[in-house]
């Protein structure tokens, strides 16, 4: 694995994280309180959810919401770009390792996006997490 570039690993990593989230969202929607034996509960999955303002990093024009799954080497995160009405206009999964990184796009339109993405986005929108994270970043 150490010899492979992020561009060779990003698709499989995205599929694996998406499968995890599919599983956790399905359990949540069923009202399962025990969680998954390996993944835990949906609210325990991932490390953080925050807002990264535009121009935080070099060559980054637009701000985005970051759902960080893992950190270190490698790091995995979903970047969710939304307009002023909090409608998604782009979603990316990033796989990042030391001095290397690659991304894949995830369908963002409501009729195309994965169920886990619809569920989480509406949850974050309804609980006003999106606005709160934007405020914290200012």
What percent of the chain has pLDDT above 70?
A: 99
Domain ranges of the chain: 6-136
pTM of the model as a whole: 0.93
Nearest Cα to Cα of residue 82 among 102, 55, 59, 52: 52
Nearest Cα to Cα of residue 78 among 57, 52, 109: 52
> How far is the C-alpha of 119 from the C-alpha of 14, rounded, in Å?
17
pLDDT of residue 93: 98
pLDDT of residue 138: 84
pLDDT of residue 83: 95
Two tokens at 93?
């999964």
Q: Would you give the end-to-end CA distance of the chain in angstroms? A: 39
pLDDT of residue 24: 98
> How far is the C-alpha of 1 from the C-alpha of 126, rounded, in Å?
40
Two tokens at 58?
């070099």
- pLDDT, one tens digit per residue, over 53-65 is 988 888 888 999 9
């Amino acid at each position: 694995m150490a010899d492979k570039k992020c561009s060779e690993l990003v698709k499989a990593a995205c599929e694996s994280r998406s499968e995890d989230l599919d599983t956790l969202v399905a359990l949540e929607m069923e009202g399962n309180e025990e969680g998954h034996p390996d993944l835990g509960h949906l609210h325990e999955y991932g490390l953080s959810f925050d807002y990264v303002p535009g121009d935080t990093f070099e060559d980054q024009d637009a701000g985005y919401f970051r759902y960080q799954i893992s950190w270190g080497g490698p790091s995995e995160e979903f970047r969710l770009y939304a307009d002023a009405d909090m409608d998604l206009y782009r979603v990316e999964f990033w796989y990042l390792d030391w001095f290397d990184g690659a991304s894949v796009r995830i369908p963002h339109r409501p009729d195309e996006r994965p169920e886990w993405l619809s569920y989480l986005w509406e949850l974050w929108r309804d609980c006003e997490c999106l606005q709160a994270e934007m405020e914290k970043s200012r």
